[in-house]
Amino acid sequence: MFGLFKRSATLQIYIAAYDRGVDANGNPKPDHWAIIVSKSLSHAGTAHHVIHGHPLFEYRPRDDVYVLKSQSLAHVLNIGKISEKDVAKIEEVFEKVAVNNVDKEWNCQDWVLEAVSGIQGLKEVSLEKGLKVENLKEAVKAASDGRDYN
């Protein structure tokens, strides 16, 4: 009888930045960003991100992402927590974030910033204290690659 009530696990919310190398002129390409929802960096999680490029950007979540197994992982920042039972609420927000295939300056980092803004007001999401969307680019860039997390 006591086994019927299972506590919902707490999942972590991360922003992962992946190095994309250099363009044809040798200039660094902007990092690819994704929001990762997972028990921890050592567990498989779901990546929420936009893929492709202009004019074909599209939101596409991807399950079974192991952040620390990626050779191109540059930075990872823990931005908050959510109960496993409430994940559908943030996924609804992510699905509604507009994809901009018109502005050539817009990219996956802009999508992540808007997605984080969208979940900021949800009572089910506990974002890290002091987290400010306008400072996320600097915070992600300053974060480690996560391989020292345990």
Tell me whether residue 31 is in a domain: yes
Tokens 């994809």 locate to 99
Tell me whether residue 98 is in a domain: yes
Given pLDDT bands bounded at 50, 70 and 90, which one contains residue 1?
very low
**Amino acid found at 59:** Y
Tell me whether residue 149 is in a domain: no
Tell me whether residue 28 is in a domain: yes
What predicted TM-score, i.e. pTM, was given to this entire model? 0.91
Model confidence over 9-18: pLDDT tens digits?
999 999 999 9
pLDDT of 2 over the 80 cut: no
What HEC string does 79-145 produce? EEEEEHHHHHHHHHHHHHCCCCCCCCCCCHHHHHHHHHHHHCCCCCEEECCCCCHHHHHHHHHHCCC
pLDDT of 134 over the 60 cut: yes
Instruction: Collect all residues with Cβ–Cβ distance below 8 Å to 77 and sequence separation of at least 6.
Output: 14, 15, 136, 139, 140, 143
Tell me whether residue 44 is in a domain: yes
Tell me whether residue 1 is in a domain: no
Tally of structural domains, the chain: 1
Task: Show the domain range for 64.
Answer: 9-142
Model confidence over 93-127: pLDDT tens digits?
999 999 999 999 999 999 999 999 999 989 999 99
Tell me whether residue 59 is in a domain: yes
CA 109, 112, 113, 114 torsion: positive or negative? positive
Select from 140, 46, 136 the least CA-distant residue to 94. 46
Could you give the angle at the alpha carbon of 13 between the alpha carbons of 88 and 58, nearest 5°?
Answer: 65
Tell me whether residue 148 is in a domain: no
